Chains A and B, each alone.
Chain A
Amino acid sequence: MQDEIKNITAILETVSDPEIPVLSVTDMGIIREVKMNGDSVEVIITPTYTGCPAMDMIAMNIRLALIEKGYRNVIITSVLSPAWTTDWMTESGKQKLKAYGIAPPQTPSGIPSDGTIACPQCHSTNTRCISEFGSTACKALYQCNDCKEPFDYFKCH
């Protein structure tokens, strides 16, 4: 059964976040638990943001990925507590984000002061926050004062 769960976890690592396709749902820390009960699989997920419109699609993609690999009885359960935090994002996930051009979340939580977030293009920390609300609920909009590139910052949550 441990092997079975390992197998399922490996499949989940291939399911990407529809809004940030370089990250898998495991990288995001959305997967809370995988349970086996006879031939049925239960995947327990948690939404990033309350209103995240990608959650329904994520649940469907997880189901499809598992069905494709031969699992017939797939249950996706969404739990709200404990509330998702960017601390659950994997280290490799943060690296992938950066390579994709999105500055990864920094601790402590909240919006960091200007001059602390590194530009994902030129790595300068001479950057400023343009808006705390960005292209999706999880991102804020920043600009680099050196290379002038605007970029997304994944908000610490």
Chain B
Amino acid sequence: MMNADNNLVNYLLHLADTTLILSQRNSEWCGHGPVLEQDIALTNIALDLLGQSRNFYQYAAIVSGNNHTEDTLAYLRTEREYKNLLLTEQPNGDWAQTILRQYLFSQFQYLYFEQLQYSADTQIAAITAKALKEIKYHVRWSSEWVIRLGDGTEESKVRMNAAIITLWPYTGEMFMPASYEQTIAFRGIGYDCSELKEIWQQKVKTIFEEATLIVPEKVFMQTGGKNGTHTENMGYILTELQYVQRAYPNCEW
């Protein structure tokens, strides 16, 4: 049997895990949103992200060989095997923190998928080109909320600033490629994420300025998610996400 393309599998899992975990976090809001329309907006975004992650898992399962399916990859891997961005696993906190997490990620994801739609791998190109149409809405919705909260009431601004302090240290990782990412980028399948740092910062700065918020400078950046070293949040997320398959192995409905 031919050896599976491990770098490609790891890369696909990184993309799949990142979208799955943010989807899982957003869906925790289901039924708890501040108003019905926003509850629906966030769960719609969760659904889009879940769809993207399924596409990446299905493809990862094919590439890996090993009898994997999208379900075994999502439900039966441990914390150290998950390769999602640390940003996506951060708690929902309040509405400001959820909004800011979504904006910082969507703004990055849009720029990143804009490049991946030209991937030499036709499946990655197809998945990302399709997802871009949806991400455009996520960026618009979340950036409008960042502006509304930042340039809103005294209270909403305090909360936005607190969210920035909490989440900013997890943004650096988006632009630091793991070794499998570097290999995949070199092969024309992925893209060097470090190239997007400047334009992402510019985009965020424009929105923050409109929101009368300040972009932090010289913050120590946390890393590790891409290689399976997570914050303490991750175990709790997987406990809930994987509970049914762990408690009743192979159950189906």
**Residues of B42-72 contacting chain A, CB below 8 A:** 44-45, 47-52, 54-55
Check B37–A131 contact: CB distance below 8 A. yes
Could you tell me the distance between the alpha carbons of A83 and B127 in the complex, rounded to whole angstroms? 9
When each residue 127-167 of chain B gets 1 if its CB lies under 8 Å from chain A and 0 otherwise, what string results?
10111011011001100000000000000000000000000
Please determine whether A80 and B126 come into contact, CB atoms closer than 8 angstroms: yes
Q: Mark A74-87, 1 if CB is under 8 A from B, else 0.
A: 00000111111000
Most chain B CB inside 10 Å of its own CB: which residue of A49, A53, A130, A133 = A133
The range of chain B's interface size is 20 to 34
**Complexed CA–CA distance, A84 and B130 (Å):** 8
> How long is the Cα–Cα vector from A136 to B122 in the complex, in angstroms?
28
Q: Chain A: which residue is nearest B47 at the CB level?
A: A51
Least CB distance, A109 to chain B, in whole angstroms: 8
B37 pairs with A133, CB closer than 8 A: yes
Report A124-157 CB contacts with B as 1/0, cut-off 8 Å.
Answer: 0000001111110100010000000000000001
Instruction: Determine whether the beta carbon of A81 is less than 8 Å from that of B130.
Output: yes
The CA of A52 and the CA of B37, in the complex, are separated in Å by 19
B211 close to chain A: CB less than 8 A: no
How far, in angstroms, from A27 to B123 measured CA to CA in the complex? 26
Contact code string B26-48 (vs A, CB < 8 Å = 1, else 0): 00000000000110110011011
Q: Is the CB of B129 within 8 A of A133?
A: no
- Count A interface residues, CB 8 Å: 23
The verdict on A95 contacting chain B, using a C-beta distance below 8 Å, is no
Contact indicator A53/B133 (Cβ below 8 Å): no
Pairwise interchain contact A157-B37, C-beta atoms closer than 8 A: no
Q: A50: CB under 8 A from chain B?
A: yes
- Report A47-89 residues with CB < 8 Å from chain B CB: 47, 49-53, 79-84
Q: Could you show 17 A-B contacts with beta carbons less than 8 Å apart?
A: A49-B47, A50-B52, A50-B55, A50-B130, A50-B134, A51-B51, A51-B134, A80-B127, A80-B130, A81-B122, A83-B126, A83-B129, A83-B130, A131-B40, A131-B41, A132-B137, A134-B44
List 15 additional A-B contacts (Cβ < 8 Å) besides A131-B37, A133-B40. A47-B51, A50-B48, A50-B51, A50-B131, A51-B47, A51-B50, A81-B122, A83-B133, A111-B140, A132-B137, A133-B45, A133-B137, A133-B141, A134-B40, A141-B37
